[in-house]
Structure formats: structure tokens, C-alpha cells
Structure 1
């Protein structure tokens, strides 16, 4: 279903968000250095519900190094092919981290299912652990919005994801999953 078709339906915000996640293949993740210099990148993703997103990346990439230093991220998922004025989008605040080997083994099948459905390839724990150059990353959404349609540009509607959400603030230091360890930030002024 296209963004334009979704706009014409009287769906709840959660249903609209779910449709946007399902119909798009890439998300944009915004990260920041410890000194607050921003960086964004797009990645192919899989999701479960509205509150968990996965992607595969190399730990050596800039966005992965920045996530290791500062796991607070912002995410946007949208269809860039629609005409101006017909966009639909999901915006999220989240905690992101590289999955431990144990968590990757438990959850890589969820990423693999979407990849297979898209006729890309199957993924196993061996593809994202051990000597592999790639790792599975997981973002746990703490707040979610959709772009409101028909009410001018950039008006967002808060979405209840159906799970217990944490407020994302500068004082929050809990990792997104207790099986993942919270990384130590590098010295101020250094780029991971």
C-alpha cells in the first residue's frame, strides 16, 4: 500500500505506523558524537511490532561507532517516492546497541525473515557473530510518532506502541535490553 492510499484510510495512528514500517525497507538512523555533532545513515531494517527494529552493520562504520559511544538515536522511516504533500512517515526515539552474540543468536531469525521475504538472503547467527565483519543491531523504541496528513507540513501524532515506553532524556543510562551492556563513551572531543 502506498503512502497516498494509507492517507485515504481511516486507520488508527498505530495501524498507520505499522503499515509504514511494513511497506518501507530502509530507515534513517541519526546518531551523535559525544560532542553532539550529528551523523545520519540509512540501513535496511526489520521490525517486530512498533517498538523493536533490527539492522546489520559493520562495527567499524561511523554510525556503529557512534552508537557504541552514545546509544540514544532518532529514527525516521518514510516513502520518498510519493509526491510532495502525500508523505507518510514514522519518527522514533530509541536506544540502539550492537546485539551480544547471545541476543544475535536469539533474534537474527527476525531480521532474516524479512530479508527472505524481500528475496535477499537468509541470515544466521554465524553471519553476525564471531569472525564475521557484520553485527546485528537492535533499536528499542522509547517514543513514536507518525506524520499527520492533511494538516500542513510537519505535524506529528504520538503513537501508543502497546508496550511500556521509557522517557528518553539525557539522564537515562539504562541499555535498551538488559542482556546488552551499556558502552563506555570515549573521551570528550574524540570521534569513535
Structure 2
């Protein structure tokens, strides 16, 4: 059983925040909600301080989990998108594209325009990217936390 493209796409487009699940070098978990923008549902961008716990965790252990869900729906009706990904701070040579993606979504949601200069120098805020390896959703078959792969196609 696999999900249809619209389920994953709708959830990702309809929400503003994703929860990053990172771990430090010893495996201690840490969860952080961040505002995000995406490119083709496979790359997710956010801005953060390199000194924040999730950023420090990604520097030593880039594997992460991500979940996006609507927490306002009635009990037992919710659906979420779960992703495994690899996270990193975006290199200066790739900032233009990443900041364009982030800025467009920020403006769409009433935020400000962002430029590469906003994530360079001081104050120390940087652009991060998660490259998704796998998407999944809940099966909705009565089994608790039964996730099924979600294929977005090419």
C-alpha cells in the first residue's frame, strides 16, 4: 500500500512548521520545530543559529527525522508526513538558490524577503537544508503508528 501524491503534497503545502528530530554524537535525541520552505517536496530549507542544539547535532550526526502535521484537527483524524533525511548547513556557493526558495515561501506567508546576505556574517544565523531520502504517512488501518511509504513520483 502506498499513498497518493496529493496527501503528502497537501500536508506539506498547508503547514508552516516541521519538527526536526536530531541526535547528538552520543545518540541523545532532540526535537525542534522550525519554519520551512521546500523545493519539489524533497529539499527542505530553514534558518537557524549554528549554536542551537539541532544545528550542533546536525554538524556531528547529519541523519534526521522530520514530521509535518496539522495539530488542530480532531483526535484520531490527523495525518502527517514523516521523512528520513540528511541535514546540513548550506554552503555559500549554494545560498542563492536556497534563499530564493526560502524567501518566496516567507513572502507567501506574510514574512520578509530573505537574501544570502541575511545568513552570512553577523548575526550568526545560517541556512540549513534537509534532503529527503524517504516519505511516509500513517496507514489509517487501525494499527497504531503504522506508516506506509509515500511515493511522489519523479
**TM-score normalised to structure 2 length:** 0.93
Give the strand-richer structure, 1 or 2: 2
Question: Match for 2:23 among 26, 29, 32?
Answer: 32
Residues matched between the structures, number: 152
Give how far 1:152 is off: 4.2
1:125 aligns with 116
Pairing 1:137–2:131 present: no
- Give the greater-gyration-radius structure (CA): 1
Contact 2:45 2:102 in 1 (8 A): yes
Residue 79 of structure 2: aligned partner: 88
SS at match of 1:41: strand
RMSD between aligned residues: 1.4
Task: Provide the residue aligned with 1:159 in structure 2.
Answer: 150
Segment of structure 1 superposing worse, 82-91 or 124-133: 124-133
Deviation at 1:15, TM superposition (A): 1.4
Deviation at 1:57, TM superposition (A): 0.3
Contact 2:139–2:147 at 8 Å: present in 1 too? yes
Return 5+ residue gaps in structure 2 as ranges: none
- Which residue, 33, 40, 63 being the options, matches 1:42? 33
Work out whether residues 27 and 44 of structure 1, in 8 Å CA contact, stay in contact via their aligned partners in 2: yes
Secondary structure of the structure 2 residue equivalent to 1:110: helix
Query: Is this contact kept in 2: 1:58–1:64, CA < 8 A?
Result: yes
Distance in 2, matches of 1:149 and 1:124, equals: 41
Secondary structure of 1:161 counterpart: coil
Which residue is equivalent to 1:15?
6
CA drift at 1:131: 3.1
* Per-residue Cα deviation, 1:44-88 (whole angstroms, up to 9, x for no partner): 001122211110100010100000111000000001111111101
Contact 2:4 2:152 in 1 (8 A): no
Partner Cα distance (1:17, 1:36) in 2: 29
Higher RCO structure (Cα 8 Å, ≥6 apart): 2
